[in-house]
Structure 1
Amino acid sequence: MDYGTPRNAFSSSHTTGAMEVDVVIVGAGPAGLTAGYQLTKAGKTVAIIEQDPTYVGGISRTVEHEGYRFDIGGHRFFSKSQAVVDLWNEILPDDFIQRPRMSRIYYEGKFYSYPLRAFEALSNLGVLRSTACMASYLWRRAFPIKDVRSFEDWTTNQFGEKLYSIFFKTYTEKVWGMPCNEMSADWAAQRIKGLSLMGAVVDGLKRSLGLNKRPNDGQAVKTLLETFRYPRLGPGMMWDAARDKIIASGKGVVLMGHSLDRLASDGQGGWSMTANGPDGKIQIRAAHAISSAPMRELAKRIHPLPATTLEASKLRYRDFLTVALMIDSEDLFPDNWIYIHDSKVKVGRVQNFRSWSPEMVPDPKVACVGLEYFCFEGDGLWSAPDDELVELAKREMEILGLVDPKKVIGGAVVRQEKAYPVYDEDYAANVAAMRHELEERFPTLHLVGRNGMHRYNNQDHAMMTAMLTAENILAGKRLYDTWCVNEDAEYHEAGDEGAETGLPAREAAETRPLTDDQVAALTSLRGVPERLSTEVEQDRQQRKSA
């Protein structure tokens, strides 16, 4: 179905009435803006709605307060996908800077490298505790938990009970607000995969003898990145540029302060969307709909209502807030961020914004840090007044010995809803139920991004789901299974940037089948799916027509 060109000229101020476009997109985060950029570049008309009245980028936005810029969550621009790297360079060609990478764990007054370097960790823990850790590790390797269901099961098998309790349990339960034995093992397998305690110990011994110069990260063949690229004014700079290019193309509009009210099938394969904006409702008709909105929220707003809405309603999300402190000090520590594995304080992670980019902090005599508190929307932390949260952050930085509260000269609070999709024991079945129903009933509705797919993806993974979705729309058929992105991930910051080849040219995908070399190139990319086989596609068509 082709609705043709929009009724009205596109502009960011077009907020009332009705319009017709090729594709309507919910959410102006990395996935939504990537899809919009790729589609408008190919000549398609798009309308993007974003509920935030000010910022695009979602959790990747950069918030500004009195000249200070805050990265909400911390975003290193690193990807193994050359296609993603090329897109970053295309959207923001002149504003990347190269920054040193440093993250550590804070535990009982000492710092530990992150990712965990086991030889260093055992050394810092002392003889008695490190001996207990190694004994615990060897015991669990000899007698592993066989029915691995939870994060606790998986991590204990990998590291033993002692190291699990020191370096994983406290922080993980702060982040997710639930016991580790109730969390799915999927999250651990996705985020910690490839780290080996014994490998790290052996590497550390070799290193101490001068036999090994590689970083002691416990990964037998992978190299941890030492530097990364970063937009000089924060990650929001990337997504501001993407928005501007979409609008400048004359093919797209980005409607700020607009939230999804209803997404209705028109019965002919297309969609009619109603969005609530500051000036009332707006209606958008489109041949395709792309959603990066939380799956749970989308399920409530689709018409006809999916049969799996009940399953989707059980999906949970973790929120967080950042308390930024401006401190009368040139700098505090060199880390991009520090993970706080200490039960005496509520803070989970501390960012140092100048270490991300010196231009994030306007005064060279002032340090600016962001304390991240993980919470649920509406709980005590989330609902606390900003001034109380600033005082809490000052007290906790003093407890940790990182900042003298008397040197704090200012503070600000930024709240982020639905930052992390929760991996509880039922999430996979609930996601699968809704995914399969939507694929069967609504082939022109596409789910992308972290919340749209309820998958704890990194920024480049979210972008890749959108890039492949755009390819599917442009080709007029499902060339790629986007759900395979990051399905078998390795540690995100190991390996070389752009080491794996990216997507084929759009013209090749549209006009002829991929060559064997193109298929091989695509499937070499970590987490990038193979093209669906002819048999799979035929089976899908048969089931659809049945």
Structure 2
Amino acid sequence: MENSDIPVVVIGGGPAGLTAAYELQKRSSDHRPIVFEASDMVGGIARTESHNGYRFDIGGHRFFTKVQEVEDMWHEVMGDDFITVPRQSRIYYKEKFFDYPLKLFNALINIGPYEAARIVVSYIKWQVRPYRDEQSFEEWVINRFGGRLYMHFFRSYTEKVWGIPPTEIRADWAAQRIKNLSLFKAVWNALSGANDTASLIEEFQYPRLGPGMMWEKVRDDVREKGGDVVMQSEVVGVNLDGNRVTSIDVKHWTDDGAPATTETVEAEHFINSMAIKDLIHAFNPPPPPEVIAAAERLKYRDFLIVTLVLDHADPFPDNWIYIHSPKVKVGRIQNFRAWSPEMLPNPDTASIGMEYFCQKGDGLWNMSDEELRALASKELEELALAKASDVIDAAIIRQPKAYPVYDGEYKEALDTIEAWLRTLENFQTVGRNGLHRYNNQDHSMLSAMLAARNVLGEEHDVWNVNVERSYHEEFEVSKKPATAKMVAAE
């Protein structure tokens, strides 16, 4: 295909960046996307890594959405390479496994009738006298589940995931992630079999070779249609002339150890998906001092996964298990065959992902690969899931800036940054880190679709994708092309 006339630079080759490029080519033959990805793999945190034939996620990525455009794109790209996966997950707490979603008799047996009664009394108390102005995660959860259940199932796990007390996490995060669920509804669902809570779906779709398969296909499609996806190319500068971005500076890395080269790339439009904190520091000339100061206040939670190969088949049937026990550092455990059998080259082995939430530079992050393998193997045995001696191989992946943090400072800081970025005429930012929002894959993609349509002359507000107090799967997009109104799908 002949190259188009209007270049559009896309920063980042994750779900948001590649979706923007795909959407541009789908809707216009006059625009040519040029995607720059700093690493050697596409997909961002939704990529699929591999080690000795074993494929694994950077955390599990379910493909489920109520956003029709996203659903359509998934099927356009994947075709018959989607499989339907039954969901099975549990919570490990006080040396017992609780089914999740809740199953009443399993929960009663594990927690005991006395403590169950105390949970109910606590729930009633907080229904009668709730927090009137819920600002923190703790207040939001207690209002819906009671203080006793919060103490058991929310407090310790939340601290493990975020590394800060739940009182310092804004209610926005809880409202976005676990909307439409309460103790009453959880018990009713367990008794009736009903389930209208989007995060607790019973099955989901999944690429047979992992989520990275999706983004590798999109990369190939963009290239086949005349666009570029340039790997190992880090955007280090965003050059401004007044309120317009004129070009970016790109540092190209090589595998052979040769010095990196830098080039300046001009374009008519720019779509960003790199972390806002890094983006603000890349502008030349710099933004106003208050914008730079606001960027410094944004925080992230980092992540690493230790994937262990065992000498026998799956030690548990779950897709994943949440580990609430404070006795171990692991936060969540994946069983990759339960996602897709094709993730493993040998059916007589198991591939188990031990996920750790951490901060870049802390004790966990700085452990050697050998130390992390030993720690994960020991904790797998402490949880009575397998013996440390069963481990025959391991792979470790460290992922910085995995989750934007919703602390007490983030909203004011983000508002300051957003106000300044809105003044730029031909520059948009999308995706989880590009908007500093804990979006899942589908809404990161949606923000990118809307940005691509804006390039083509429509008027959508990408900042308002998934900002209301509503869970990410509770939206549908209006079909009117010139609006970006999000309609609750209750």
Q: With structure 2 as the length reference, what TM-score do the two structures score?
A: 0.93
Q: Write the deviation string for residues 89-112 of structure 1: whole angstroms up to 9, x where unpaired.
A: 112222111111112111122222
Amino acid across the alignment from 1:256: M
Q: Kindly tell me the number of residue pairs found equivalent between the two proteins.
A: 480
Indicate the SS of the match to 2:316. coil
Alignment partner of 2:179 out of 193, 196, 199 = 193
Distance 1:349 1:450 in 2: 21
Instruction: Say if 1:261 and 1:99 are closer, same or farther in 2 by CA, change over 3 A.
Output: same
Alignment partner of 2:294 out of 296, 302, 311 = 311
Answering whether residue 38 of structure 2 is matched by residue 51 of structure 1, we say: yes
Instruction: Say if 1:189 and 1:107 are closer, same or farther in 2 by CA, change over 3 A.
Output: same
Distance 1:346 1:315 in 2: 25
Distance 1:313 1:268 in 2: 22
The residue that corresponds to 2:218 in the other structure is 242
**1:451-466 counterparts in 2 under 5 A?**
451-466=433-448
Instruction: Say if 1:246 and 1:59 are closer, same or farther in 2 by CA, change over 3 A.
Output: same
Alignment partner of 1:365 out of 316, 340, 348 = 348
**CA drift at 1:225:** 2.4
Indicate the SS of the match to 1:94. helix
Indicate the SS of the match to 2:444. helix
The residue that corresponds to 1:29 in the other structure is 14
**CA drift at 1:223:** 9.6
Larger deviation, residues 366-375 vs 480-489: 480-489
Distance 1:244 1:525 in 2: 34
Distance 1:524 1:471 in 2: 19
The residue that corresponds to 1:524 in the other structure is 487
The residue that corresponds to 2:53 in the other structure is 67
Instruction: Say if 1:242 and 1:503 are closer, same or farther in 2 by CA, change over 3 A.
Output: farther
**CA drift at 1:355:** 0.6
Distance 1:383 1:363 in 2: 31
The residue that corresponds to 1:533 in the other structure is none
**CA drift at 1:408:** 1.1
Percent of aligned positions with the same letter in both sequences? 47
- Whether the 8 Å contact between 1:225 and 1:493 is mirrored in structure 2 is no
Alignment partner of 1:294 out of 272, 275, 283 = 275
- Whether the 8 Å contact between 1:81 and 1:502 is mirrored in structure 2 is no
Distance 2:120 2:95 in 1: 22
Amino acid across the alignment from 2:233: H
Distance 2:55 2:131 in 1: 46
Q: Write the deviation string for residues 40-99 of structure 1: whole angstroms up to 9, x where unpaired.
A: 3322112111111x2100000000100000111110111101111111111222211111
Answering whether residue 42 of structure 2 is matched by residue 79 of structure 1, we say: no
Amino acid across the alignment from 1:226: E
- Whether the 8 Å contact between 2:403 and 2:438 is mirrored in structure 1 is yes
The residue that corresponds to 1:214 in the other structure is 194
**1:222-233 counterparts in 2 under 5 A?**
224-233=200-209
- Whether the 8 Å contact between 1:340 and 1:349 is mirrored in structure 2 is yes
- What RMSD, in angstroms, separates the aligned Cα atoms of the two structures? 2.3
- Whether the 8 Å contact between 1:486 and 1:526 is mirrored in structure 2 is no
The residue that corresponds to 1:409 in the other structure is 392
Larger deviation, residues 65-74 vs 90-99: 90-99
- Whether the 8 Å contact between 1:272 and 1:284 is mirrored in structure 2 is yes
Instruction: Say if 1:334 and 1:306 are closer, same or farther in 2 by CA, change over 3 A.
Output: same
**CA drift at 1:120:** 4.8
The residue that corresponds to 2:303 in the other structure is 320
Distance 1:274 1:463 in 2: 25
The residue that corresponds to 1:418 in the other structure is 401
**CA drift at 1:118:** 6.5
**CA drift at 1:214:** 2.4
Instruction: Say if 1:426 and 1:256 are closer, same or farther in 2 by CA, change over 3 A.
Output: same
**CA drift at 1:269:** 2.9
What residue ranges of structure 2 are gaps of 5+ in the alignment?
A: 254-259
Indicate the SS of the match to 1:370. strand
Q: Write the deviation string for residues 471-490 of structure 1: whole angstroms up to 9, x where unpaired.
A: 11111x5x111122112364
**1:316-465 counterparts in 2 under 5 A?**
316-440=299-423, 442-465=424-447
**CA drift at 1:115:** 4.0
**CA drift at 1:433:** 0.8
**1:97-176 counterparts in 2 under 5 A?**
97-116=83-102, 120-176=106-162
Q: Write the deviation string for residues 293-347 of structure 1: whole angstroms up to 9, x where unpaired.
A: 1111101011221221110111000010000000111212121110000000000
- Whether the 8 Å contact between 1:83 and 1:502 is mirrored in structure 2 is no
Distance 1:447 1:298 in 2: 9
Instruction: Say if 1:273 and 1:232 are closer, same or farther in 2 by CA, change over 3 A.
Output: same
- Whether the 8 Å contact between 1:81 and 1:525 is mirrored in structure 2 is no
Instruction: Say if 1:318 and 1:21 are closer, same or farther in 2 by CA, change over 3 A.
Output: farther
Indicate the SS of the match to 2:80. coil
Distance 1:49 1:312 in 2: 22
- Whether the 8 Å contact between 2:222 and 2:228 is mirrored in structure 1 is yes
**CA drift at 1:503:** 4.4
**1:4-15 counterparts in 2 under 5 A?**
none
Distance 2:325 2:293 in 1: 38
